[in-house]
A and B are shown apart, each in its own frame.
Chain A
């Protein structure tokens, strides 16, 4: 397939806005300087579980320099990103459910005064016994009022349970040549973006509320604020300045956004709340601590026969995205392999901890680790090369899975072949000296959730374009640029259609007053959905330019192509004109050109309960190989090299795709080797490591070289053939490390993170024959 010749698409251009970032000009929320801004601080619960008996703010309010104090009673209506689990109050009202839960908000002249005021707020708590982990949460609770959320339908502290069964798993397993089984445990982990959350709210004299916030989901924030604050959406303006990373950690509406708003509505001065690092950990909504039992069956030829998954995940105190996570832990294991018998049970528990939520690779990462390790066990039992067995079992392109996922473009086999051949897999696997190993794993991920969170017929993404006499192309969309490069995608798509280079395009994606709705940066939806909307809008405006060209020079609208800021007549090149000439004509008697485009995903999926979870207009695929060695005396894992292949449909910007892949490798290596959200029963519900010192993310020194291979399967529905590259590339790195460790030392590590101590324990157990 020869790729079409494009001007802007497929070019490794620097990120739109990168000049501002490298020069220090880029404004993030905490960088905004609005005159009169007060400092907002949040008083937090020191108890994991307690009733609030008394709350008295009068002394604090009397302190000079304190302008407003708000408490839970000022906004009792709970919220949550999913309409089905709106269970979180802005501040604890009569009870608190985790250490760090907001109890009151203060606006003061400066931080010292705010801190002083905090000490003057009198809160009397009646501590109650906290639920520390998901297993504990399964115990029956006699009195519903004693549950973390009394209103749930279960007799214990479960939040959600989902069950699915396709095909006939018991039969499939009974007929299998081998069924590999394992119990896997995963520590919770945190997004650890570098920019702490921050929000500035200003209730102006016209009674409009403006909020600047470091958010991935301005639209959901907009909705939640309207509900909680009792203001119509039209009276709220959400602005998303530059965001210093999100990875899912800024994809919920948050209490601090409500609190800053309540404070400014009280005192009518702008209020800024910027978190310190500990507050970021407290508000983290990271990957759920999980226990997952997985069984994978295969026949004697290595064909997979069935998959059984039972996941128990620790949701913390509130819902967040947890209902979705509950599904994703199972359903996203439906690829990249054909699995016709599939059973899944997913349970999410409420516990007295900061809540877990969506994090890059949402719900898919932990199960993927287990599945890929057990896959290798099957390959070993059958006696077949795990790479070959993966190729054998790969879903073909354009097929349907047993749970009715529509698979379209699929480059997984090419991904496997690329990394297999580049890494010298055949000469290395099973042949390296003891302590050295190589491992392979694949991925499968959604490219945007086909179902929007709210039941609505409004498109998932809308893009507006305006062109005036200066020729500059202003593109509006609320798609949230959070560092992943969505503004660049937007600019490239529009520029390509109009035959301009990116410098003509002005991307405006910050302000809800100006830009049309896009649902936000989650579920890897932006490139696919916003990209398609942008193409539509640009095509629409190109049509207007074509008509103008015809008016000026005659010919048919189909005669014109747009390239290099020219409108070229392919039939009679002498009729060609510049883009500015065509524009001039188009503007005559008309004024500025405007156009709109939108994307709505097609209706997909089956009719069973939960059929919507995991549905996506298309899926990304990938395969990674990791080579490493283990210091068998210390248990340290040293990474030698990674080969990473990802099928993103089409690399609209190969530089950005490469960046995403390497960034994913970095983040995944952290989870597999060192990161953990450390809870300890003696810390009374506190995270033991709420700092960037004690919560370790890899530094440049730990980062191994990565060879990136971009596979382009050209998705028929994707913008220029593209699909996602921001989350899927995280999935294979963890199990490729796990499988490489097995190749190196013969133990399958079933607990993440894999610490040096756990490696030594596993080696010892193996020596004693217990592995």
Chain B
């Protein structure tokens, strides 16, 4: 098979600017895992049907298994490794204390979905939480404790009165994951 050449792209991942050589047909998931050693992002299906590979691209939760690596050029990527800062994010501790993680393989994806939700909506109701985590599947927990964990984190964040960043919401609206 003749393979088109690699091209160096530059993007920000977890606050750090990186340059990597990627093939036009590499998906971001592979580049994160194999080139950048960001193995926290998981591959459960490679077909958009599990949510294990969810990351944020310019604040939006997207599936890295269906995102071409080249689309990341110039973007801000956040992976699960970027949430603890350095203390774990309240969502992360809530997943622990609520029993929302068992085998943990789905967990990074769920946390990324939940984080995007809380960035948009600091006080989501149960139905909204379920909607926002319904692009992720979990075979271990049965979801209820995940919902509980998101609620708990939301309460904790509200208590800390950390205003959620309105500009992020606005930016989310404007950028397209495949656009520059």
> A interface vs B, CB < 8 Å?
12, 14-15, 17-28, 30-31, 33, 112, 116, 191-196, 242-247, 276-277, 482-485, 655-656, 658-659, 662-667, 691-693, 697, 699-701, 703, 705-706
In the assembled complex, how far is the CB of residue A150 from the closest CB belonging to chain B, in whole angstroms? 38
A286 to B65, CA, bound (A): 27
> Which of A21, A196, A655, A663 has the most B CB atoms < 10 Å from its CB?
A21
Query: Is B175 on the interface with A (CB-CB < 8 A)?
Result: no
Complex interface residues of chain B between 31 and 72 (CB less than 8 A to chain A): 33, 37-50, 52
Which residues of the partner chain A approach B81 to less than 8 Å between Cβ atoms?
A: 23-25
Q: Is B3 a contact of A112 with CB atoms below 8 Å?
A: yes
Which residues of the partner chain A approach B1 to less than 8 Å between Cβ atoms?
A: 112, 116
Which residues of the partner chain B approach A18 to less than 8 Å between Cβ atoms?
A: 95-96, 101, 104
Query: Is B22 on the interface with A (CB-CB < 8 A)?
Result: no
A667 to B107, CA, bound (A): 18
The residue in chain B whose Cβ has the minimal distance to the Cβ of A664 is B142
Which residues of the partner chain B approach A193 to less than 8 Å between Cβ atoms?
A: 103, 105, 139
The residue in chain A whose Cβ has the minimal distance to the Cβ of B48 is A693
Q: Is A703 a contact of B92 with CB atoms below 8 Å?
A: no
Query: Is B134 on the interface with A (CB-CB < 8 A)?
Result: yes
Q: Which of A112, A243, A245, A693 contacts B47 (CB 8 A)?
A: A693
Q: Is B79 a contact of A659 with CB atoms below 8 Å?
A: no
Per-residue A-contact encoding for B141-167, CB less than 8 Å = 1, 0 else? 111111100000000000000000000
Q: Which of A15, A30, A245, A277 contacts B139 (CB 8 A)?
A: A245
Query: Is B24 on the interface with A (CB-CB < 8 A)?
Result: no
A658 to B100, CA, bound (A): 11
User: With A21-B101, A194-B137, A700-B147 in contact, do A662 and B42 touch (Cβ < 8 Å)?
Assistant: no
23 sampled A-B residue pairs with Cβ under 8 A: A14-B96, A15-B99, A18-B104, A22-B91, A22-B111, A23-B88, A112-B3, A116-B1, A195-B42, A195-B44, A242-B103, A244-B104, A245-B102, A276-B46, A277-B44, A277-B45, A484-B102, A485-B102, A655-B98, A662-B142, A663-B139, A692-B49, A699-B143
Which residues of the partner chain A approach B18 to less than 8 Å between Cβ atoms?
A: none
A402 to B39, CA, bound (A): 53
A341 to B158, CA, bound (A): 62
In the assembled complex, how far is the CB of residue A144 from the closest CB belonging to chain B, in whole angstroms? 41
Q: Is A697 a contact of B101 with CB atoms below 8 Å?
A: no
Which residues of the partner chain B approach A699 to less than 8 Å between Cβ atoms?
A: 134, 137, 143
Q: Is A22 a contact of B104 with CB atoms below 8 Å?
A: yes
A47 to B145, CA, bound (A): 43
A692 to B99, CA, bound (A): 24
A663 to B50, CA, bound (A): 17
The residue in chain A whose Cβ has the minimal distance to the Cβ of B146 is A700
Q: Is A700 a contact of B95 with CB atoms below 8 Å?
A: no
The residue in chain A whose Cβ has the minimal distance to the Cβ of B38 is A24
Q: Is B142 a contact of A666 with CB atoms below 8 Å?
A: yes
Which residues of the partner chain B approach A28 to less than 8 Å between Cβ atoms?
A: 42, 105
Query: Is B130 on the interface with A (CB-CB < 8 A)?
Result: yes
Q: Is A196 a contact of B141 with CB atoms below 8 Å?
A: no
A116 to B147, CA, bound (A): 44
The 6 A-B residue pairs with the shortest CB-CB distance, nearest first, are A24-B40, A483-B103, A244-B105, A21-B104, A666-B142, A24-B80
Which residues of the partner chain B approach A666 to less than 8 Å between Cβ atoms?
A: 139, 141-143
Q: Is A697 a contact of B137 with CB atoms below 8 Å?
A: yes
User: With A193-B139, A244-B104, A700-B130 in contact, do A30 and B99 touch (Cβ < 8 Å)?
Assistant: no
A244 to B37, CA, bound (A): 19
User: With A22-B101, A26-B104, A245-B103 in contact, do A691 and B140 touch (Cβ < 8 Å)?
Assistant: no
Q: Is B47 a contact of A691 with CB atoms below 8 Å?
A: yes
User: With A245-B140, A663-B102, A700-B130 in contact, do A23 and B145 touch (Cβ < 8 Å)?
Assistant: no
User: With A15-B99, A697-B139, A700-B134 in contact, do A659 and B88 touch (Cβ < 8 Å)?
Assistant: no
User: With A192-B139, A662-B141, A662-B144 in contact, do A23 and B103 touch (Cβ < 8 Å)?
Assistant: no
Query: Is B28 on the interface with A (CB-CB < 8 A)?
Result: no
The residue in chain B whose Cβ has the minimal distance to the Cβ of A656 is B99
Q: Is B44 a contact of A24 with CB atoms below 8 Å?
A: no
Q: Which of A191, A482, A665 contacts B142 (CB 8 A)?
A: A665
Which residues of the partner chain B approach A656 to less than 8 Å between Cβ atoms?
A: 99
Query: Is B138 on the interface with A (CB-CB < 8 A)?
Result: yes
In the assembled complex, how far is the CB of residue B69 from the closest CB belonging to chain A, in whole angstroms? 15
Q: Which of B33, B39, B93, B105 contacts A194 (CB 8 A)?
A: B105
User: With A15-B101, A18-B101 in contact, do A692 and B41 touch (Cβ < 8 Å)?
Assistant: no
The residue in chain B whose Cβ has the minimal distance to the Cβ of A667 is B139
Complex interface residues of chain B between 80 and 137 (CB less than 8 A to chain A): 80-81, 83-84, 88, 91-93, 95-99, 101-108, 111, 129-131, 133-134, 136-137
Q: Which of B42, B44, B88, B130 contacts A19 (CB 8 A)?
A: B88
Q: Which of B37, B105, B140 contacts A659 (CB 8 A)?
A: B140
In the assembled complex, how far is the CB of residue A759 from the closest CB belonging to chain B, in whole angstroms? 23
In the assembled complex, how far is the CB of residue A176 from the closest CB belonging to chain B, in whole angstroms? 39
Q: Is A243 a contact of B103 with CB atoms below 8 Å?
A: yes
In the assembled complex, how far is the CB of residue B30 from the closest CB belonging to chain A, in whole angstroms? 9
In the assembled complex, how far is the CB of residue B165 from the closest CB belonging to chain A, in whole angstroms? 22
Q: Is A700 a contact of B133 with CB atoms below 8 Å?
A: yes
A244 to B177, CA, bound (A): 29
A656 to B100, CA, bound (A): 10
Q: Which of B42, B92, B93, B98 contacts A244 (CB 8 A)?
A: B42
In the assembled complex, how far is the CB of residue B117 from the closest CB belonging to chain A, in whole angstroms? 12
Which residues of the partner chain B approach A17 to less than 8 Å between Cβ atoms?
A: 104
Q: Is B39 a contact of A27 with CB atoms below 8 Å?
A: yes
Q: Is A659 a contact of B131 with CB atoms below 8 Å?
A: no
Which residues of the partner chain A approach B49 to less than 8 Å between Cβ atoms?
A: 277, 691-693
Q: Is A23 a contact of B42 with CB atoms below 8 Å?
A: no
A22 to B111, CA, bound (A): 8
Q: Which of A25, A195, A277, A658 contacts B105 (CB 8 A)?
A: A195
Which residues of the partner chain B approach A33 to less than 8 Å between Cβ atoms?
A: 37, 39
Which residues of the partner chain B approach A658 to less than 8 Å between Cβ atoms?
A: 99, 145
A703 to B131, CA, bound (A): 12
In the assembled complex, how far is the CB of residue B110 from the closest CB belonging to chain A, in whole angstroms? 9
In the assembled complex, how far is the CB of residue A456 from the closest CB belonging to chain B, in whole angstroms? 30
Which residues of the partner chain A approach B144 to less than 8 Å between Cβ atoms?
A: 662, 703, 705-706
In the assembled complex, how far is the CB of residue A208 from the closest CB belonging to chain B, in whole angstroms? 26
Q: Is B50 a contact of A14 with CB atoms below 8 Å?
A: no
A217 to B52, CA, bound (A): 25
User: With A193-B103, A194-B105 in contact, do A25 and B40 touch (Cβ < 8 Å)?
Assistant: yes
Which residues of the partner chain A approach B129 to less than 8 Å between Cβ atoms?
A: 700
A245 to B143, CA, bound (A): 15
The residue in chain B whose Cβ has the minimal distance to the Cβ of A654 is B99
In the assembled complex, how far is the CB of residue B83 from the closest CB belonging to chain A, in whole angstroms? 7
> Which of B41, B44, B104 has the most A CB atoms < 10 Å from its CB?
B104
Q: Is B47 a contact of A692 with CB atoms below 8 Å?
A: yes
User: With A112-B1, A703-B142 in contact, do A24 and B102 touch (Cβ < 8 Å)?
Assistant: no
User: With A662-B145, A692-B50, A700-B146 in contact, do A483 and B43 touch (Cβ < 8 Å)?
Assistant: no
Which residues of the partner chain A approach B45 to less than 8 Å between Cβ atoms?
A: 277, 691-693
A667 to B143, CA, bound (A): 11
User: With A23-B83, A194-B105 in contact, do A692 and B40 touch (Cβ < 8 Å)?
Assistant: no
> Which of B45, B84, B111, B147 has the most A CB atoms < 10 Å from its CB?
B45
Q: Which of A24, A667, A697, A705 contacts B108 (CB 8 A)?
A: A24
Which residues of the partner chain A approach B50 to less than 8 Å between Cβ atoms?
A: 194, 692
Which residues of the partner chain A approach B140 to less than 8 Å between Cβ atoms?
A: 194, 245, 483, 659, 663
The residue in chain B whose Cβ has the minimal distance to the Cβ of A694 is B49
In the assembled complex, how far is the CB of residue B128 from the closest CB belonging to chain A, in whole angstroms? 11
Q: Which of A14, A24, A116 contacts B79 (CB 8 A)?
A: A24
A195 to B42, CA, bound (A): 8
Q: Is A194 a contact of B138 with CB atoms below 8 Å?
A: yes
Q: Is B80 a contact of A194 with CB atoms below 8 Å?
A: no
Q: Which of B37, B39, B48, B102 contacts A15 (CB 8 A)?
A: B102
Complex interface residues of chain B between 8 and 34 (CB less than 8 A to chain A): 33
Q: Which of A30, A276, A659, A693 contacts B145 (CB 8 A)?
A: A659
Q: Is A19 a contact of B139 with CB atoms below 8 Å?
A: no
Which residues of the partner chain A approach B101 to less than 8 Å between Cβ atoms?
A: 15, 18, 21-22
